[in-house]
Amino acid sequence: MMAQEDSRIIFLYLGMLGFLVPMCFYLIFMHKPANYNPNVDPDLGNWTNIEYIFRLFFFVTLIVLGTASVV
């Protein structure tokens, strides 16, 4: 029989994987706008692409909140 501490660690990692794997698929297959060109510097005054600016902070926050909900 498995120790209770071992099962907690296993379920913690399973919960984190259950949260992070769909998020990775979303980021990989996310729809890009028709005018998206990563080789061109974006206009800093153009706030219509604000999603690209704050995407990292948004997903770091989601990972922290998802891990907290699993724990």
Counted domains in the chain: 1
In a domain, 43, yes or no: no
Render pLDDT for 29-53 as a digit per residue (tens, 0 to 9): 777 666 666 666 655 555 556 666 6
pLDDT reading at 25 higher than 70: yes
Q: Note the pLDDT of residue 3.
A: 80
Domain that holds residue 23: 1-30+49-71
Cα 29 from Cα 36, distance rounded (Å): 14
pLDDT reading at 56 higher than 70: yes
For the chain, percent of residues with pLDDT exceeding 70:
65
Nearest CA to 42 among 31, 53, 34, 32? Answer: 53
Mean pLDDT of 8-16: 86
Cα 47 from Cα 10, distance rounded (Å): 43
In a domain, 39, yes or no: no
Cα 65 from Cα 21, distance rounded (Å): 15
In a domain, 41, yes or no: no
